[in-house]
């Protein structure tokens, strides 16, 4: 439900390769790179767009969300961070600004089911004089037979930024996201493991308003539903394993309204069990015809 709040620098490939086991090398891709339509399976019937739900998220933590007349998200902002969304025919444009400066621009190219098949992104950094430097990347998105995102693979056709990067998504027997592995130069650098029934007891809780998982990949924005659904239940815990670093763990305890929608999420350190913060959720009920 909530993006898991790890702020982690991208681990450089240097110094990692020598300590990786052979099993940590990214397996060869088994998908075709032909027409984009061939790479995307049809959406499963249970995978409905977020805006068809009878609720609309209007506040998430400090982020205030704004929608247009078609009930599409057009802005999410908290005073420092501003995210804007522009919708076109077969594509969506996402811009991230922080402190008034553009940090990221992503153009998502969509198929007939509204799934992203390719994304064109530009990351911006600034020097002390305010000069901007741009790092472009193109990723292709692949889906499994159930219509779930299976991988994001960076294309290496730019000689100035000639490196490989990819993300592999794995699902449990219930079709819910269980593991995400990120690779740099084909070496595993991060692994995220999600649980829906641990560490505390009780049946898994239905997620009535799914948000994207946080895997430290900016184009996988919290609110953009261009990659389809990842799960049906609320995430209860996340473990992040990085090469050469101790595992980082968090777990989450939710408060629910009478209709099952989340009103708040308490975040705990999974190693020490110490409370870290509360993230509030505020929804607006959408009446029929509005």
pLDDT tens digits for 10-63?
333 333 333 333 344 444 444 443 333 433 333 333 443 344 357 999 999 999
DSSP codes, 30-93: -S--S-GGGG-PPPPTT---GGGSSEEEEEETTEEEEE-TTS-EEEEE-SSEEEEEEEETTEEE
pTM, two decimal places:
0.81
What pLDDT was estimated at residue 78? Answer: 97
pLDDT band at 8 (very low <50, low <70, confident <90, very high): very low
pLDDT band at 244 (very low <50, low <70, confident <90, very high): confident
Mean residue pLDDT across the chain: 84
Q: Is the CATH number 2.40.160.190 carried by domain 46-285?
A: yes
pLDDT, tens digit, for every residue of 150-186?
Answer: 999 999 777 777 789 999 999 999 999 999 999 998 8
Percent of the chain residues topping a pLDDT of 70: 81
Per-residue b or e along 143-160, where b marks 16 or more CB atoms closer than 10 Å to that residue's CB:
beebbbbbbbbbeeeeee
What pLDDT was estimated at residue 243? Answer: 85
- Span 102-130, mean pLDDT? 96
Q: Which residues contact 196 (CB under 8 A, 6 or more apart)?
A: 176, 204, 231, 233, 234, 235, 236
Q: Would you kindly state where each structural domain of the chain is located, as residue ranges?
A: 46-285
């Amino acid at each position: 439900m909530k993006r898991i709040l790890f702020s982690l620098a991208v681990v450089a490939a240097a110094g990692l390769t020598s300590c990786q086991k052979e099993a940590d090398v990214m397996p060869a891709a088994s998908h075709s790179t032909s027409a984009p339509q061939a790479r995307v399976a049809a959406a499963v019937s249970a995978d409905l767009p977020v805006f068809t739900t009878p609720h609309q998220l209007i506040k998430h933590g400090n982020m205030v969300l704004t929608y247009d007349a078609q009930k599409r998200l057009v802005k999410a902002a908290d005073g420092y961070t501003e995210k804007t969304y522009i919708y076109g025919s077969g594509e969506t444009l996402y811009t991230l600004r922080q402190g008034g400066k553009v940090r990221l621009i992503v153009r998502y190219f969509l198929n007939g089911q509204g799934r992203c098949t390719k994304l064109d992104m530009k990351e911006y950094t600034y020097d002390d004089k305010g000069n901007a430097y741009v790092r472009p990347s193109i990723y292709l998105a692949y889906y499994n037979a159930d219509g779930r995102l299976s991988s994001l693979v960076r294309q290496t056709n730019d000689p100035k930024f000639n490196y490989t990067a990819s993300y592999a998504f794995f699902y449990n027997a219930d079709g819910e996201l269980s593991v995400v592995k990120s690779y740099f130069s084909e070496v595993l650098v991060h692994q995220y493991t999600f649980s829906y029934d641990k560490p505390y007891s009780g049946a898994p809780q239905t997620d009535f308003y799914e948000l994207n998982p946080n895997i430290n990949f900016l184009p996988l924005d919290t609110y953009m539903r261009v990659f389809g659904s990842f799960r049906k239940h609320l995430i209860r815990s996340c473990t992040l394993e990085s090469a050469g670093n101790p595992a980082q763990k968090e777990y989450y305890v939710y408060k629910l309204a009478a209709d099952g929608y989340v009103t708040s999420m308490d975040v705990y350190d999974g190693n020490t069990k110490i409370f870290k913060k509360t993230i509030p959720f505020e929804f607006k009920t959408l009446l029929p015809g509005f």
